């Protein structure tokens, strides 16, 4: 190895950190561990048999196109189907407003590449999705965290933070938010809160990044409007994905934005991977055309609702006093809060010995706070293991108390 290796590294790679979640997951490989750590869909929701026939059809009908390079913007038919789907939900978009990405994580990376210079400020939640934070940090951003309540990002804290920045001559590049069943907190913004956030963004002339991987996984309650449809001015970028509502292994996501913005995404993506796999895009398009997608989505929602309910009941039965948690109306996660003096990172190592795992909450806080919190996934394990895992976790917490 050359002697001055560190000196030749870029500022970007020096700013990148290993994913706390991915590193912790290495400790959960023991098959006896009940893991609430990953953001994993349940394998029994994957439409394996349906996809077998679809794959054969694509190879029989379009092998030459499916196995070739494709357009950077994405497969035309898949984009048409997605545009049609979003229009039915009130989105005023056409093909030029939507491009395909290699999952929504690439969308976050491209977003950071397009908008962030080293030292730029961005607005995120306390807590916020670790994948978004990692993408922003890797390009040198300095996130400012906005406090949460039961309805998500607080508008008063957001306004105060922006005013303080203004006094210092700072202007953030964008506001990053996950308004539906937020990862990791599991909370959902009501329409009134969304409008407040939009009004602040308009007043301060800021982009809003609406990360929306879970919106269609609603178990109960009223569906909320998308920030994109509420805005109507091109000031919101919406990120979507099939990873949580279809299959994560396909790595298909998309960006919906004003045409000036999607054009920049195309340019940035061309320098990254040229195109997302045409083969998996054509499989996804054919699968949707067959009318199976929405039927399977209903099955997924039913299964995840049952798992959430089983976990909620177990929390109420086994958790000691002083421990609180969110009740998500959908999605994959909930957030658990320990008494202030407790540290979930120290608790994690003890929990692993009891064969149960979670993700420490501090990983989702850009300012290092949240040490007494943890993220819990309820979608991956069975109902029975969710209950047993809560028992084990409650025992660890009770011993620590």
- pLDDT, tens only, 273-296: 999 999 999 999 999 999 999 999
Q: List CB contacts of 52: < 8 A, sequence separation 6 or more.
A: none
In this predicted structure, what is the pLDDT of residue 27?
Answer: 59
Which range is least confidently modeled, 5-14, 93-102, 361-370?
A: 5-14
Neighbours of 159 (CB within 10 A): 17
Q: Determine the average pLDDT of the residues in 184-200.
A: 97
In this predicted structure, what is the pLDDT of residue 21?
Answer: 58
Q: List CB contacts of 253: < 8 A, sequence separation 6 or more.
A: 100, 101, 102, 103, 104, 105, 106, 107, 239, 240, 241, 242, 243
Question: Side-chain half-sphere of 259: how many Cα atoms within 13 Å?
Answer: 5
Going by pLDDT thresholds of 50, 70 and 90, the confidence category of residue 12 is confident
Residue 206's nearest CA partner among 167, 234, 180, 183 is: 234
Distance CA 65, CA 277 (A): 11
Distance CA 181, CA 49 (A): 30
Q: Determine the average pLDDT of the residues in 214-240.
A: 96
List of E strands, 59-153: 98-102, 121-126, 142-149, 152-153
Going by pLDDT thresholds of 50, 70 and 90, the confidence category of residue 212 is very high
Q: Determine the average pLDDT of the residues in 6-34.
A: 72
In the numeric block, the tokens 């909370």 are attached to: 187
In this predicted structure, what is the pLDDT of residue 231?
Answer: 97
Q: Determine the average pLDDT of the residues in 198-217.
A: 97
Per-residue pLDDT at 29 exceeds 80: no
As to burial, measured by CB atoms within 10 angstroms (0-12 exposed, 13-18 middle, 19+ buried), residue 349 is exposed
Q: Determine the average pLDDT of the residues in 129-147.
A: 96
In this predicted structure, what is the pLDDT of residue 10?
Answer: 79
For residue 373, give the DSSP letter. E
Going by pLDDT thresholds of 50, 70 and 90, the confidence category of residue 28 is low
Per-residue pLDDT at 203 exceeds 80: yes
In this predicted structure, what is the pLDDT of residue 80?
Answer: 98
- pLDDT, tens only, 111-136: 999 999 999 999 999 999 999 999 99
Residue 373's nearest CA partner among 146, 121, 148 is: 148
In this predicted structure, what is the pLDDT of residue 6?
Answer: 78
Q: Domains of the chain: which residue ranges?
A: 5-47+295-400, 62-289
Give the chain's mean pLDDT. Answer: 95
In this predicted structure, what is the pLDDT of residue 7?
Answer: 81
Q: Determine the average pLDDT of the residues in 330-340.
A: 97
In this predicted structure, what is the pLDDT of residue 30?
Answer: 76
User: Token digits for 262?
Assistant: 């999607």
- Class of domain 62-289 (CATH, top level): alpha beta
pTM: 0.95
In this predicted structure, what is the pLDDT of residue 38?
Answer: 85
Stated as kind and residue range, the H or E segment containing 386 is helix 383-400
5-47+295-400 CATH fold: 3.90.1150
Per-residue pLDDT at 20 exceeds 80: no
Going by pLDDT thresholds of 50, 70 and 90, the confidence category of residue 48 is very high
Q: Determine the average pLDDT of the residues in 321-340.
A: 97
In this predicted structure, what is the pLDDT of residue 269?
Answer: 98
């Amino acid at each position: 190895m050359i002697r001055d290796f560190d000196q030749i590294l870029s500022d970007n790679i020096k700013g990148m950190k290993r994913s706390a979640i991915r590193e912790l997951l290495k400790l959960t490989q023991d098959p006896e561990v009940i893991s609430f750590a990953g953001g994993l869909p349940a394998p029994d929701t994957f439409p394996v048999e349906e996809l077998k026939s679809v794959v054969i059809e694509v190879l029989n009908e379009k092998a030459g196109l499916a196995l070739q390079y494709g357009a950077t913007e994405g497969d035309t038919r898949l984009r048409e189907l997605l545009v049609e789907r979003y229009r039915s939900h009130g989105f005023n978009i056409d093909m030029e407003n939507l491009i395909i990405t290699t999952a929504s994580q690439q969308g976050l990376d491209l977003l950071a590449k397009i908008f962030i210079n080293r030292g730029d400020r961005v607005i995120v939640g306390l807590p916020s999705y670790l994948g978004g934070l990692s993408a922003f940090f890797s390009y040198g951003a300095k996130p400012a965290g906005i406090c949460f309540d039961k309805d998500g990002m607080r508008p008063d804290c957001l306004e105060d933070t922006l005013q303080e920045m203004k006094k210092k001559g700072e202007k953030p590049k964008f506001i990053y938010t996950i308004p539906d069943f937020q990862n990791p907190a599991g909370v959902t913004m009501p329409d009134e809160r969304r409008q407040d956030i939009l009004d602040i963004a308009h007043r301060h002339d800021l982009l809003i990044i609406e990360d929306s991987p879970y919106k269609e996984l609603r178990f109960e309650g009223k569906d909320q409007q998308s920030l994109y449809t509420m805005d109507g001015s091109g000031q919101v970028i919406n990120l979507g994905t099939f990873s949580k509502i279809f299959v994560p292994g396909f790595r298909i996501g998309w960006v919906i934005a004003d045409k000036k913005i999607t054009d920049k995404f195309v340019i940035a993506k061309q320098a990254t991977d040229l195109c997302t796999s045409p083969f998996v895009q054509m499989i996804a398009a054919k699968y949707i055309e067959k009318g199976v997608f929405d039927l399977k989505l209903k099955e997924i929602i039913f299964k995840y609702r049952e798992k959430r309910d089983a976990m909620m009941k177990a929390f109420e039965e086994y958790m000691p006093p002083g421990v609180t948690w969110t009740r998500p109306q959908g999605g994959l996660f909930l957030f658990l809060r320990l008494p202030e003096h407790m540290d979930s990172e120290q608790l994690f190592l003890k929990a692993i010995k009891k064969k149960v795992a979670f993700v420490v909450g501090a990983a989702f806080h850009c300012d290092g706070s949240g040490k007494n919190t943890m993220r819990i996934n309820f979608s991956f394990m069975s109902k029975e293991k969710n209950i047993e895992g809560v028992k084990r976790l409650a025992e660890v917490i009770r011993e620590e108390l």
